[in-house]
């Protein structure tokens, strides 16, 4: 159990605002400050969305470009992952930042329900996003909101649409999608190992499920995702003071289960990313 644990910090997301937690970073400057503290606390992947000044989500490539430049300056070596999620745009707009060539981008390979709407990922859009990632040499993080998404990713890996070493993230705890459920979590791991034996995996728990899922991941040898995108609280009564505070509690779990926290060189090696920064 001494495999280093890669910690991803999802700094902003599309939903939480300053009204939910004043520590949610909105402007690029705030995002960079928050990420730098999280990086110092042990996170080596920054999963990022960008926002307009009024806090609404956007897919504006110029914002993504500014964020990438600043992160490279202030967090050298950190793995930059952009979201192509569906709350900040529609259709191909969601992949408009991929020519910026971030290290990674999220890729949801199928549709499911969200709390108040459908999270629509048509086969055609999934293929287009995967191809854009391929031509721009971007490593996809495959988001599995459902068991069928693991099968879909395996089919795409097999036929060459996802040629890189797969990195799969199970997302649990979104209302109307897959709940935080240990039996399902265990079956996701088993299925990923069976269909994608060379994959690394991690999981994100949303809301109160975040810490539970963090512990399941660390104890089962996977990687972990935390951050204010998924959860703005330390517990029912306490807001998380920062992204770094959420990262800190994952590093404590790593200590508990005797997992070293991966530095960016180890993380890049495990994910098959170049070390040049």
Name the site residues for Zn ion (rule: CB under 5 A): 83
Q: How far is the CB of 143 from Zn ion (least distance, A)?
A: 9
**For 20, how many CA atoms within 13 A lie in the half-sphere containing its CB?**
19
CB of 90 to Zn ion, least distance (A): 16
Strand-pair partners of 161: none
Q: Among all residues, whose Cβ is closest to Zn ion? A: 83
Of the pair 34, 83, the CB lying nearest Zn ion is at 83
Q: Are 59 and 94 in contact (CB under 8 A)?
A: yes
Q: Least distance from C-beta 204 to Zn ion, angstroms?
A: 8
For the bound state, the minimum distance from the C-beta of residue 225 to Zn ion, rounded and expressed in Å, comes to 9
State which residue, 94 or 259, has the beta carbon closest to Zn ion: 94
Q: How far is CA 41 from CA 89, 179, 245, 249, 270, in A?
A: 31, 29, 8, 10, 20
Q: What is the DSSP string of 180-216?
A: --HHHHHHHHHHHHHH-TT-EEEEEE-TTHHHHHHHH
| Residue number, 83 or 243, with CB nearest to Zn ion | 83
Of 210 and 259, which has the nearer Cβ to Zn ion? 210
């Amino acid at each position: 159990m001494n495999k280093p644990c890669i910690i991803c910090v999802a700094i902003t997301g599309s939903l939480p605002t300053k009204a939910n937690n004043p520590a949610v970073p909105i402007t690029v400057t705030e995002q960079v400050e928050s990420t730098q503290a999280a990086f110092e606390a042990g996170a080596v992947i920054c999963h990022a969305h960008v926002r307009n000044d009024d806090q609404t989500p956007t897919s504006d490539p110029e914002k993504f470009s500014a964020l990438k430049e600043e992160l490279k300056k202030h967090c050298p070596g950190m793995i930059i992952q952009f979201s192509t999620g569906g709350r900040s745009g529609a259709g191909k707009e969601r992949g408009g930042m991929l020519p910026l060539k971030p290290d990674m981008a999220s890729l949801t390979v199928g549709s499911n329900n969200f709390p108040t709407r459908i999270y629509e990922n048509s086969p055609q859009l999934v293929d287009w996003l995967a191809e854009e990632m391929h031509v721009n040499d971007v490593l996809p993080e495959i988001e599995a909101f459902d068991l069928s998404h693991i099968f879909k990713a395996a089919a795409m890996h097999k036929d060459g649409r996802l040629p890189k070493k797969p990195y799969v993230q199970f997302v649990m705890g979104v209302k109307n999608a897959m709940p935080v459920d240990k039996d399902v979590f265990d079956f996701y791991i088993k299925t990923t190992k069976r269909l994608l034996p060379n994959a690394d995996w991690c999981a994100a728990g949303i809301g109160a499920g975040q810490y539970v899922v963090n512990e399941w991941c660390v104890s089962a040898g996977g990687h972990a995702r935390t951050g204010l995108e998924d959860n703005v609280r330390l517990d029912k009564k306490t807001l998380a003071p920062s992204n770094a505070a959420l990262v800190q509690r994952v590093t404590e779990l790593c200590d508990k289960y005797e997992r070293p926290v991966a530095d960016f060189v180890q993380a890049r090696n495990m994910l098959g990313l170049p070390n040049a920064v």
